[in-house]
Every structure is written in C-alpha cells, then in structure tokens.
Structure 1
Amino acid sequence: MAHDLSADEIARYSRHLILPQVGVKGQMEISKASVLVIGAGGLGSPVLLYLAAAGVGRIGIIDDDLVELSNLQRQVIHGTPQVGLPKVASAQARIESMNPLIKVEAYHARLTAENALDIITGYDLVVDGTDNIPTRYLINDACEIVGVPWVYASIYRFEGQCTVFNFNDGPNYRDLFPTPPPADKIPSCAEGGVIGVLPGVMGTIQANEAIKIIIGKGTPLSGVLLVYDALETRFRGLKYGKDSSRSKVSELGIYDDSMLCQSESMASLPRQDNSSEKLPTDASINFEQNIHEISALMVNEKRAGGWEPFVLDVRTERESEIVSLSFTDLLIPVTQVAKNIQSIPKEKDVLIYCHHGTRSRDAGVLLQKMGFDANNIYSLSGGINDWSLKVDSTIPRY
C-alpha cells in the first residue's frame, strides 16, 4: 500500500509496523495525532518519553514548575543538570533529542480556567500527569466542553489508579468522583511519600491507553478504574458508570482549594489512613482565618530578638528522621495531636511546622478548637522547606 512514511520513520518505528494491530496505517495515525500532557513530573515523564518514542506527531506539555533535586527519584525525564530549569524546557529538550521527527509545544504555565479551553482545543487527547484534585476537575470539565477524551492516573505510596474519561460519550471524572474531598483529607506525595517506580508503572499504562485510543485498537479503560498495588504486585479493575442525572458541563467554574473546603466526601482519595483525626466542627467560628501565618524570615528575626515559642513538629516520625529544626521541642504527627494535647503548653506561644505548611495550619486549627488562644498559635508558612530556602541552606530539602 502507498504511504507517506520516510525511510527514517520506517526504521525508527519498524517494531510497530510489524504488529498487525498497528502496521503502517496505525503508525500513520500515531504520526498525525496530537496529545496534550498536563504535568511533566512523575506521571508525565514516562508518558512523554513513550509517546515521543512512539512517534506521536504533536505533543503539548504544560507545567509551571521548576526541576528540583527531590524530583529526580521518580521524574525520570529530568536529570541533575536540569535542576532549576522549567520542567517543560527540560522535558521538551529530552524528547526532542529522542525523536526529532515530532513537534513539541511547551507551555510554561499553570492550567487555569482562563487558559484551559484555548490550550486543550486542537488536541485529540489529553493525558493527566497532575497531582492536585482541583486541576483534575478543571481538566475534566474543559475536556467535556471541548469534546476530547482524557487519560487519568493518580499515585500514592504504593498504590496507583488509571482510567479513561470522556471516551465515546462514556463516564467522566465527575461520574466517578462527584464530590471533592475536604482539603485537609487530601494526601500528597510530599506528605505520604511514593515509591519511585510507581509513577513509571502508571504513566506507562497511561501512554499505552493513549496509543490504543489513537489507533482505535483494544479496549480503553473507559468505565473501569484500574487499581495497582505495588506491594502485592496485584491489579484489579473496578467498574463504574455514567450518572444519568448529572448535567453536562457547559462552562468552567472556580478550580482552587475553595472547592474542597465544604465537602464531607472522601471519594476522591486513592487511600485513606485510618489513623487520621477528624477535627471538631464549630460552624460559628472560622478558625482557619485566626491562624497566624509566619514566614521563615520573620521567625528567624523574632528568635534573634529573644522570642522563645514552644516549637511543635507535626510531620511524621519518618520525616523527622530525615531532618528537623534544631530548636524543635516536640514531635507529634498531626494525626496524633488531639491524643497528646496535654503535652503542648497553653501558657506560651506555639510555633507549628511541617513540610510545606499545610499540616501545621491543620494542627493550629485543632489547637484553637481545643481551647488554645488563637493569639498564641503560629504556623510556619512554607514549612521546613521554606526554612531551608530562606534561612538555613544547610538543612536538606526533601
């Protein structure tokens, strides 16, 4: 049959060409396809590498982050020389060096309600490599409006999930996760950790799903949530369907942490830690507004002036083994604060810190609800990570 593949393309993609499910026709479909990968991190790395190697003709990459040393344990598209560079620039250079026959478009930006429709329009398929829930709702709604499918994956500790949304009028993210979880119940890789190979496994599955959709072969994971347990090396599929009562999304809304705060659902979590404490509720007081956010520079200045607060580390024991502030008075993981409240003095200022500042705010809210004076509670903004960046660079970042 006549085709437009060059001699270089035939040599490069020969292992595809001899597959009956792909062949020349399938490879030409791959070469004509356009895929937007949102996030150039742990999941995005294998997705980008394998889609580029497969010869996807046009690949878009959007990410507003910079490469950090702590990324390299799992974000294999980047290397040590790229630390400090925009992830999109690092990823673009890597996949262009791998396959100069493809076109790469890099967006050094964060996907927002303002730019999502413009960026997604024109791509055949979207692959999600993000790590936050509001952005996933944004991706879902934008893809539903534009009319393109998207491949989802999430990772946490030793567990991964993958499915395909909005494929051939199939179910989407809001059908599987109709309600966002509370902001304080969302685990992150930075807080819970992740085994380095897990995003490689799940991202490779995402890339395979993308190629299946492009060539129209096989059965995509539409309506099936694939769950992978890396500790037990076990896969299982959970079926889900379309909610017939749900109205189709017609316009974008607000996609930030404010959409998380009112919900009581935990459905979007990959896994819940049974030891997590639920904070007492008091609808008459907005405790979170009373939290004193204090910067690392201000803490350093106040301590130099004689300020001696009680310093509470609310990270896990494993994190404290990595590094701690030398002036820490007590380590109590945030899930155990309520059980150990008697160990925290009420008569003096309390400075609370964690990794990035989220758990310290949660602990501050809890202390207020348990009778501590809001004027005495301080949360270290940016956590020990900011202390390393702005005060003491000898403290390792993780």
Structure 2
Amino acid sequence: MAKRWCLRFATLLAALLSATAACLDVGFYDRTCPSAEAIVQQTVAAAFRNDSGVAPALIRMHFHDCFVRGCDGSVLIDSTTNPNNTAEKDAAPNNPSLRFFDVIDRAKAALEAQCPGVVSCADILALAARDSVELAGGLAYELPAGRRDGLISREADALSDLPPPFFNATQLADSFASKGLTVEDLVVLSGAHSIGVSHCSSFAGVPNNPADRLYNFSSPDNIDPALSNAYAFLLKSICPFFSSQFVPTTTTFMDLITLTKLDNKYYVGLSNNLGLFISDAALLTNATMKALVDSFAQSEATWKAKFARSMLKMGQTQVLTGTQGEIRRNCRVVNPPNATATAGSHQVVAESGSSGFNNGVAAE
C-alpha cells in the first residue's frame, strides 16, 4: 500500500468552517506513469553532470514555488502580454537569480511523450528538488506526490511572500509561520545555503539597498559587525562599491568551506561569522535559532535527518490535489480552455478564464 501524507492547512473559509486535508502519496504515479520518478531523476542527473549548479538552483526554485501560492508550479509559468501579466519568475527576487527552468522543461517533455497529461509540473519540480538533494548531499528520501498545477502566477505575490535576504529573526520566523513552518524548519532549511551562489546585490553595493552589509550598514565603518572582517574584505574584492568592476549580477559562493556539497558546513561557517546574508546572521540573534545552529554545526547526521523532514513538510504547503487546478501540458503556460489534460479539466476551463491573469532566502 502506498504511503499517504496528509497536511492539514487552514484557509479563511476553513478557519470559519472546518480544516481541509491535502493528501499526497508515495508512489502516486506507480500505475499511471510508472517511470515518472526515474525520468525526472535521469533528467536532473544529466544536467547535474554538466553543471553542478543545477542542484542548488532547483532546490531554491522549489522553495520559491512553495512560498508563493503553495507548491503548485506557478513559479514555472511565463509572463504574458495578452493578457498583460508579469509572472512570479520575473519578480525581482527571482529574476535573474532563478535558473535552469530548461531542466524542468526537458523532464516535462519526456514525461508528456510517455505519459501525456499525467504528471504535474508541481510534482516534477518537487521531485527535481528531491533528486538535487541526493546528488549534492547524498541524502535520499521518499517523496509523496499528487500535486496539481496552479492557474495563477503574479509578480506581486512573489514580492509579498518571499522572505528577502535582509529579514531579521522575527521577520523570518513570521514568514515561515505563515506557511505552516516552524522556527526549526526555518533553521533547518537555511542549511540549503551550503550550496549555490548569490548575486552581489543580495548583500552589497547599490544605493539604499537594505541587504547591503559591506558599504552602507549602520555602523562606524559601514560594515555589518556580524560579518567576519576577513570575509568582508573578500566580499568587497568580489563586489567593489561603485567602481567600474561592480556588477550587481556578479556572484559568489555562499559557503566557503565546501562549495558544491550540501552538508552542515553552512552552520560551521555561520558560527564563525561567515554567513553571507543579513538573514543568515539573524539566526544567531535568537536563542532558539542559535541553539539549533550550534547543534547542526556539531552533527551533520542530525541536520540531514531534519532537512529531509522539513523538505517534505515544505513540499506540502497549500498543495492542490484531486480536481483542483490542472495538469499543465507545458509547464510555462496554463492549458487552453479546451484542454482535456486530465480528470477535472472541466474545472480548469472555468478557472482559466478567471481574473488570475488580469491583474530570503536569496540563493541560486
């Protein structure tokens, strides 16, 4: 029997009436598309062999998907001109930092060739993130599936829901709590900063940038005192302020200890004032968060076990199931009104004509 994972979540209506349960299943595609998980895994592995940056990018993409309208694949939808809509992927927290949408496209194309209209883009992204965790960190876990794809993707939602890299501890905790995630989940998932790179603009150098720790911080020398002096010097050499060499899109690795390995060294570095973002350093300003940082710095096994659980929990945030949403045939666009992708497509027809298109965590 397939394992069933149910996460109870409240909506405004549910708060007034009753809670709803969104259930996902391990082995969800065993009968309808038995090779689904293998196809995604093979696609991600091939991309990873070519560029190890694929792993942090897909983990981050999944996080940014789940934090905006839930894990519904809405981050994959392209902006449109008719009707005019700027999608999540083109919001400032995502563009140009989100990368490797083409990996999801390739997985979707392979799945459509074998099992047309069966596997959702939301599940493909969740599976790709899970596979990225294994490739970069050697951590494997079963992932329940059954998510369906959302019909709405708006820049404004990304701007309002994604925690920026200058949040303090309270703001971070509140942001995660709004998605049903705990302080422990926050600290655990921040460990994904063990891999990937960040743009200079997420921690330095442009006027009135609240994320700047190097040039405009409120301190005597304009440098964040929570940042190691040696690290600040290094970052300034990478992101020189207002010089001809300064390019906001220049990137640097977020973890100086193990650049491309998903492990607990993020916490080791953080404990030595080597956290890249204001939001990283913020984890040391709260007693509960700091205790977790210290624990994970001492035990990689403890962190990895909790990381898998927190990824599973995040992956069930406000999911669409059953006949909600749709199964997109192309992850970049919602299905046309006459699409017959899967059961429940009659609901897609009704919703795709709605007002939906009328309108951190910083890492990559």
TM-score interval (norm. to shorter): under 0.3
More strand by share: 1
More helix by share: 2
TM-score, with normalisation over the residues of structure 1? 0.23
TM-score, with normalisation over the residues of structure 2? 0.25
Higher-Rg member (1/2): 1
The structure whose RCO (Cα within 8 Å, separation 6+) is larger is 2
